[in-house]
Structure 1
Amino acid sequence: MSHHPLDRLTADEIDAARVVLEQAGLLTPTTRFAVVQLVEPSRAELAAFREGDPVDRRVRSVLLDVATGATRTSIVSATHARVVSVTDVDTAQGQAPIMLEEFMLVDEIVKADETWAKAMAVRGITDLSLVRPCPLSAGDFDLPGEKGRRLLRVLSFLANREEDHCWAHPIDGIVAYVDLIEKRVIKVIDQAEFPIPAEEGNFDDPAYVGPMRTTLKPISITQPDGPSFSVDGSLVTWEGWQFRVGYDAREGLVLHQISLQGRPLIHRASIAEMVVPYADPSPVRFWQNYFDAGEYLLGVNVNALDLGCDCLGEIHYFDAVLADGEGRPAVFPNAICLHEEDHGVLWKHTDLFTGSKNTRRQRRLVISFFVTVGNYDYGFYWYLYLDGTIQFESKATGVMFTSSYQDDSPYATEVAPGLGAPYHQHLFSARLDMTVDGPRNAVDELQVQRVPVSAENPVGNAFTRSSTRLKRESEAQRLADPLNGRVWRIVNPESANRMGRPVGYQLHAQGTPVLLADPSSSIHRRAGFATKHLWVTRYAEDERYPAGELVNQSTPHAGLPTYAAADRDIDGQEIVVWHTFGSTHFPRLEDWPVMPVETTGFTLKPVGFFDRNPTLDVPDSRELTAHGEGAHSCACC
């Protein structure tokens, strides 16, 4: 039984929701659950909740009839065993997320198509059992006959044998368009017969890798007295920090009600979307743009984390419970990893006059999970620091999506003989439902300002800083500017520090490129959120996703462009800060055959939130070492 409105969904609740829908006659033998999620209470509902209050747990499902394509959303009260609402979906505006069983179905559909099979034969491929059709989201390009159809586009790869990694052998120049409801190929585009790269890329084969190095010595991470954090159900407490761990089938890890020293900071924090647009404009690849949350469901693609490999030290794991296509619960063990780790020097000073020497070490709490979406693997890491800093980091690794490399392509890197890795971007959208020291916040844009030589600045050394309040949603669609030190400070106009100024937290953006596709392109219209580093919107319970509710084959301008078009007041209101960040990947040879982690992210730092350094009470690290063991390692601590 759930005791808090934000507890993660349980197997019993998922089962209960399915039974209610069955009893209501809303399920047929061809109904599938494309996504099942907890209906989270609103800000107001959570503010009114007190421990021990009754909790009405509601479950939202997207139901897809795989025989007809008809789609509807339902909300069920698992607590009271009743249907709250059912809404039909206009599939011409967007489709349900792609399901695992549909990915598996594509192999059968494509290999049964005569046109596609003949194209394989022309390329000398007769054993279709070694061909790996790769089902990919179709997007929306206003192509004739596609509107309202549930589609995937399929590129293919060849394995030399069952254990051979097929990504090294793209069968390029051909793509199949598949209708998932009709269960047939509706179009094959056979552009050209490109050579299939022959060199293998089996990074897990000793024959390919060679002998393992023997020079690395073990690193042991121990906490003899256990970790400093405590866990009570979904509630985590650590060094003044407190938050709840949530999990969503679409977003994956969600952090709720983040507070520090009893003061609220963020009501809800998640990575609400990510888009991976590719740069190859060829006839068989121009459509390659993937929304990994809205189309593929990040949370459903979670890995079970392994101690010693994914996480080191004293670990607390949280399981995730998700629904399969039949609406039945499945437990994903070790989905979320919680641990703390040393992070170098926190502060240090050797004083010239007093002779005192002081060093304190930084420590951070890490909350993470990993997903595999097709060829890429992504780690999502939230860090909380002793000094009040909040940081997010994405770690992209895995195998790059490959192509045949021809004629010094301006859109790909040749990473092995005849093997290309197309240029692409990984763009994430963080949704930060801010509550800095209270529910009503505002955002100021700050940047450096040069001061010309004048009577007040006779030698020209002066510089200062400008501050501009973003008052309406139309003003709060901004780009980062690292050369001018642009940052965004989220402040509480109703809460002042001892200097009489509003308390705040400052968003530091990396300022990497936003979406590079042309403004007239389909992906530019569908991923409008990715054209700005910052959006600020008025809080609305139903505005959860930066690219809209149903992203698969979605129509233009859904999500943030539509939300912000209302041009609501955001000055001293309940607000949501949306931050776009990511990487533009021009692949290297070193990224093949498996890519070393590439990181991107952002940082939130307290600015005037505290009245002085909040870590003065962090003890000398020698005092934390039992019996003085290791005291010699930090002589000036």
Structure 2
Amino acid sequence: MVHPLARLTAAEIDAARELLAVHDLLAPGVRCAVLSLEEPTRDEVAAHRAGGPVDRRIRAVLLDGGSGRSRTVLASLTRSAIDERIEHDPVTDGQPPIMLEEFEAVDAIVKADPGWLAAMAERGITDVSLVAACPLSAGSYDLPGERGRRMLRVLSFLQARPDDSPWAHPIDGVVAYVDLLEKRVVELVDTGVLPVPAEEGNFGDGPYRTSRRPLHVTQPEGPSFTVDDDVVEWEGWRFRVGYDPREGLVLHRLSIAGRPVAHRVSVAEMVVPYADPGPIRFWQNYFDAGEYLLGQQANSLELGCDCVGEIHYFDAVVADPDVRPREIRNAICLHEEDDGVLWKHTDVFTGSQQVRRRRRLVISFFATIGNYDYGFYWHLYPDGALELEVRSTGVVFTGVHDERAARWASEVAPGLGAPYHQHLFCARLDLTVDGPRASVDELDVRRLPRTGPDGDNPHGNAFGRDATRIGSESGGGRVADRTVGRVWRIGSAEARNRFGDPTAYVLEPEDGPTLLADDESSIAARAAFATRHLWVTAYDPARRYPAGELVNQHGGGAGLPEWVAEDRDVDGAELTLWHTFGVTHFPRPEDWPVMPVASCGFRLAPSGFFDRNPTLDVAPGH
């Protein structure tokens, strides 16, 4: 029998198409922007027993290409029933995610526009077959005539030949605003002719250095993990692999030593805001999950390139706009890595010398969103720690670098600029540390004066730690602070360790900048989640995404701002943590023409969850 959290199969996507068609929901011109599993609640999953009945439900976001109206449909494949239809108003509710076919249609739309062709001719470009029209999400700025339109904004790049990287040759100073439903350019912004940078930016074809010798990773006895029906077990860890077309890789029901740690973890949203305020690029702010669908853009991974060693791959199946299954082979990679020393001690009294190797389990996927490539790596450790590392690489976005652009961009090649920007990710963490209910404390280092009121620090060496309990959602928006060693402790409301303290995990954040845009900006309203490193909300299975359901062209205020305004009690409740982290990128010449990986992430570590070091039983040499 199928598990309630099992990933959607090709057969289920076919069944979804038939069900929607039977109920007249797939009329001509209706496209499916995203189809996903409607996951059951924590309680429903906990109550399920192997072989028991399962109601397999789906969520489909449908767009009518004629009227521009959209709706979300909740349906049961098990019962062949439509459970709910939620109608959306494009003026107030935002737009469904952008579909690949819409990106592909833009090239022909702009190249048929007389104004755009004239702008190219003015720049000496008469053969537009070598112009790459780059469609980008439009954002929401209350510009005249835009409210309710389904739009993309289009920048252009020139190729010297079909295999030449267009990012080296931006055709700057001109942007086309495209209505996707009317299939036409509704506005052309042209601020004047700028020189197209000439130096090429191609890479990957050699010549290659000859100093590297082969490095082989082998496990002649096979890996230490097992996989059974998407359930992975390794070094006391157990979890289920999930996949969502919006979020990509999802880990469900994480436990260690038979004790629950998390019901669900994922990257629920990410935003890439750019710093150039000029008329050509002020709107550049991309939500790579909510607008572009991270899971739909996953790469097929290759052995020896993306992953090395003894690999287990998971294929993913997603639905196309016709609600037909599309397989992404090798979408997810699972493997072990040696990670240096786990613990070591040479004892001067007993003469004992002990050392153990640390290895980690890595489960990952890579997605390409336009010019950038993102690798998402979940690391599990034998001591109970859980870590997410996000690696950003690919090609930096480019424009002409002149005196004006120098305020907002770095010169990476002669006359070629790369604008300053941020990559801000939001992890959704449905933690269940030793049970469904928990409390969160903010822990800060406390310095003590040499002569305090009690006179108990005469030599000035003492320091301690302060704990601030987060009691309600309105107090749950917190900022990391490395100067006080700030971490957040998630303590079980149901279990205690042998010292009488709540068993707990701590969230160890990086201390990077939050959203740098002005508080009154459009992007601050739309990406409010990125203004804090941490939000704590009461668990609600219907609240999935920190910027709301329909992010594309939404005016802002959806998601976390709405939920936090309810100010529910979170002390000892079922909780969801939303953790924002990321990279603020001031591009370097070394980031061109392809960018070496930049990493960011966070760590969840046991703190009083175990009564002592849980890795004392690791054997030498392993």
Counterpart of 2:196 in structure 1 is: 196
Counterpart of 1:160 in structure 2 is: 160
Determine which of 391, 396, 409 is the counterpart of 1:395: 391
SS of the residue 2:612 aligns to: coil
The whole-number CA distance in structure 2 between the counterparts of 1:535 and 1:543 is 13
The whole-number CA distance in structure 1 between the counterparts of 2:458 and 2:21 is 80
Match runs of 1:226-625 below 5 Å? 226-407=222-403, 409-454=406-451, 455-621=455-621, 624=622
The whole-number CA distance in structure 1 between the counterparts of 2:461 and 2:327 is 62
Q: Which moved more, 1:73-82 or 1:360-369?
A: 73-82
The whole-number CA distance in structure 2 between the counterparts of 1:341 and 1:594 is 26
1:451·1:457 contact (CA, 8 Å) conserved in 2?
yes
SS of the residue 1:13 aligns to: helix
The whole-number CA distance in structure 1 between the counterparts of 2:192 and 2:387 is 47
Alpha-carbon offset, residue 561 of structure 1: 1.0
The whole-number CA distance in structure 2 between the counterparts of 1:485 and 1:152 is 43
The whole-number CA distance in structure 2 between the counterparts of 1:482 and 1:290 is 28
Alpha-carbon offset, residue 459 of structure 1: 1.3
Alpha-carbon offset, residue 27 of structure 1: 1.1
Amino acid at match of 1:572: G
1:152·1:180 contact (CA, 8 Å) conserved in 2?
yes
The whole-number CA distance in structure 1 between the counterparts of 2:186 and 2:342 is 61
Q: TM-score, normalised by structure 1?
A: 0.96
2:170·2:400 contact (CA, 8 Å) conserved in 1?
yes
The whole-number CA distance in structure 1 between the counterparts of 2:521 and 2:358 is 46
The whole-number CA distance in structure 2 between the counterparts of 1:124 and 1:551 is 38
2:435·2:493 contact (CA, 8 Å) conserved in 1?
no
- Partner deviation per Cα, 1:438-492 (whole Å, 9 max, x = no partner): 0001100001101111221111111111011101011110000001111100001
Alpha-carbon offset, residue 292 of structure 1: 0.1
Alpha-carbon offset, residue 85 of structure 1: 1.9
The whole-number CA distance in structure 1 between the counterparts of 2:497 and 2:523 is 44
Amino acid at match of 2:569: D
Alpha-carbon offset, residue 77 of structure 1: 1.3
The whole-number CA distance in structure 2 between the counterparts of 1:68 and 1:176 is 23
The whole-number CA distance in structure 1 between the counterparts of 2:11 and 2:520 is 47
The whole-number CA distance in structure 2 between the counterparts of 1:182 and 1:166 is 28
Alpha-carbon offset, residue 160 of structure 1: 0.6
1:14·1:59 contact (CA, 8 Å) conserved in 2?
no
Q: CA RMSD in A?
A: 0.8
Alpha-carbon offset, residue 494 of structure 1: 2.2
Alpha-carbon offset, residue 215 of structure 1: 1.0
2:168·2:197 contact (CA, 8 Å) conserved in 1?
yes
SS of the residue 2:443 aligns to: strand
The whole-number CA distance in structure 2 between the counterparts of 1:403 and 1:5 is 48
Alpha-carbon offset, residue 409 of structure 1: 1.1
SS of the residue 1:121 aligns to: helix
The whole-number CA distance in structure 1 between the counterparts of 2:457 and 2:607 is 28
- Partner deviation per Cα, 1:316-355 (whole Å, 9 max, x = no partner): 0001000011110011110000011110000000000110
Alpha-carbon offset, residue 21 of structure 1: 1.0
1:348·1:359 contact (CA, 8 Å) conserved in 2?
yes
1:439·1:574 contact (CA, 8 Å) conserved in 2?
yes
The whole-number CA distance in structure 2 between the counterparts of 1:29 and 1:143 is 31
- Partner deviation per Cα, 1:202-240 (whole Å, 9 max, x = no partner): 01243xxxx211111111101111001000111111110
Alpha-carbon offset, residue 3 of structure 1: 1.2
The whole-number CA distance in structure 2 between the counterparts of 1:474 and 1:453 is 36
The whole-number CA distance in structure 2 between the counterparts of 1:149 and 1:518 is 26
Unaligned runs of 5+ in 2: none
Q: Which runs of 4+ in 1 moved over 6 A?
A: none
The whole-number CA distance in structure 1 between the counterparts of 2:235 and 2:65 is 50
Amino acid at match of 1:84: D
The whole-number CA distance in structure 2 between the counterparts of 1:340 and 1:447 is 34
SS of the residue 1:441 aligns to: strand
Report the count of equivalent residues. Answer: 617
Counterpart of 1:633 in structure 2 is: none
Matched, 1:45 2:35: no
Amino acid at match of 1:44: D
The whole-number CA distance in structure 2 between the counterparts of 1:473 and 1:190 is 46
Counterpart of 1:71 in structure 2 is: 70
Alpha-carbon offset, residue 80 of structure 1: 2.2
Amino acid at match of 1:29: P
Alpha-carbon offset, residue 596 of structure 1: 0.4
The whole-number CA distance in structure 2 between the counterparts of 1:83 and 1:446 is 47
Amino acid at match of 1:251: E
Matched, 1:141 2:138: no
2:420·2:586 contact (CA, 8 Å) conserved in 1?
yes
The whole-number CA distance in structure 1 between the counterparts of 2:48 and 2:410 is 55
- Partner deviation per Cα, 1:231-255 (whole Å, 9 max, x = no partner): 0111111110000000000000000
Amino acid at match of 1:39: E
Amino acid at match of 2:439: A
The whole-number CA distance in structure 2 between the counterparts of 1:236 and 1:487 is 29
Amino acid at match of 1:98: I
The whole-number CA distance in structure 2 between the counterparts of 1:104 and 1:474 is 43
The whole-number CA distance in structure 2 between the counterparts of 1:199 and 1:457 is 65
Report the identity percentage: 63
- Partner deviation per Cα, 1:78-116 (whole Å, 9 max, x = no partner): 122222222211111210000000001100110100001
Alpha-carbon offset, residue 68 of structure 1: 2.1
Amino acid at match of 1:271: V
